[in-house]
Amino acid sequence: MIAEMQIRNYSPRTISSYISSLTRLSLHYHLSPDLLSLEQFKDYLSERITADKISNSTINQAIGAWRILQCDILKREWSTFKVKRPRTHKKIPQILSPEQVQVLLSCISNIKHHALVSLAYATGMRRNEILSLRVEDIDSARNMIIVKCGKGGKQRQIPIKSSLLKILREYYKQYRPSKFLFEGYRPDMQYSPTSFRNILRKAALKSKVNKRITPHTLRHSFATHMLESGLNLKQLQLILGHNAMKTTSIYLHVADTSSIPIPDLLEIKTNETHG
């Protein structure tokens, strides 16, 4: 099953989650998962929802693993073993105002931490994408960052401004990372996700920004502020690396686009007619 997911270019994290999900299912019944019926799988999910209060994402992981097992490994018809995914309700993302972001950054004196948080906010990259960045992924000649470990293994390019490039250069001169742009206590190790969260937690306390701030809060803030600055939804989708426009469109619910200048289409048409 691992080989099948590797061939389909699943990320190591997804492979690990799917294998863990099927292992837990197997241990629950003390049977190999290929011997389990659809009803047993449904009963297992129902019990975990009731007893463990598992989230929709955990349920979806279990269903995804079940489908790969049934369809790709055992070559069975999905219609026979199909399980409907739970209905999801998109939450309005929590964001920071541009002023709150600046206050937050002003409370981070360590140049490495400042560069890390600045990069997260100014590019809207996911946490794992930032921590997986290598030094050579920064194309300073073109003012671009090449994201090579996007969701689903997809690559994309993100334009960066000279202000961010200056911050990254100052950081690089002082720390001289050799492999990953942000390294852990060993040069060949990525920076810790926990350490990233702790930087934001401490900065939030110091800045007195009364919000729970995570790397994803910075991503949400980036997306909202880009829309408010006039970036169109398709451009934002490409920068964020979303597969579907529907995912990106949630930011329309929080962005204040009232200050973006709207052209007078009738006036434009009149001018063209007279010309």
Among 114, 219, 220, 225, the active-site one is: 219
Q: For the domain 98-253, what is the CATH code? A: 1.10.443.10
Task: State whether CATH 1.10.150.130 applies to domain 2-81.
Answer: yes
Mean pLDDT score, 126-145: 94
- Residue 176 appears among annotated catalytic residues: no
Lowest mean pLDDT among 142-146, 222-226, 267-271: 267-271
Q: How far apart are CA 73 and CA 4, in angstroms?
A: 8
Instruction: Give pLDDT, residue 90.
Output: 66
Q: Which tokens hold the place of 48?
A: 């975990």
pTM score, whole prediction = 0.70
251, 253, 269, 274: the active-site residue: 251
Task: For the chain, give every residue range classified as CATH 1.10.443.10.
Answer: 98-253
Query: Does the annotation count 216 as an active-site position?
Result: yes
Q: Six-digit token pair at 155?
A: 């690559």
Choosing from 113, 114, 220, 242, which is the catalytic residue?
A: 242
d(CA 100, CA 105): 9
Non-local CB neighbours of 78 within 8 Å, separated by 6+ positions: 67, 70, 71
Within the chain, which residue ranges are assigned CATH 1.10.150.130?
A: 2-81
> What is the SS3 assignment for 41?
helix
Q: What value does the mean pLDDT take over residues 120-140? A: 95
Confirm whether 220 is a catalytic residue.
no
Band (pLDDT 50/70/90 cuts) for residue 5 is confident
pLDDT number for residue 247: 85
Confidence band, pLDDT 50/70/90 cuts, at residue 271: low
> Which pLDDT tens digit goes with each residue over 80-110?
989 988 876 667 788 999 999 999 999 999 9
Which of the following is catalytic: 126, 171, 191, 220?
Answer: 126
pLDDT confidence of residue 151: 61
Beta strands in the chain (DSSP E): 138-139, 144-147, 156-159
For the record, the structure tokens of 118 come out as 């600045």
- pLDDT band at residue 11 under the 50/70/90 scheme: confident
- Catalytic (active site) residue 219: yes
Token pair in block for residue 62:
């279990």
In this predicted structure, what is the pLDDT of residue 240?
93
Q: What is the mean pLDDT of the chain?
A: 89
pLDDT at 65: 93
Give me the catalytic one of 151, 169, 197, 206: 151
Identify the pLDDT of residue 152.
59
CB 74 within 8 A of CB 65: no
The token pair at 180 is 């990953």
In the residue annotation, 242 being an active-site residue is answered as yes
pLDDT of residue 266: 79
| DSSP-derived secondary structure letter, 149 | S
| Residue 201 designated active-site | no
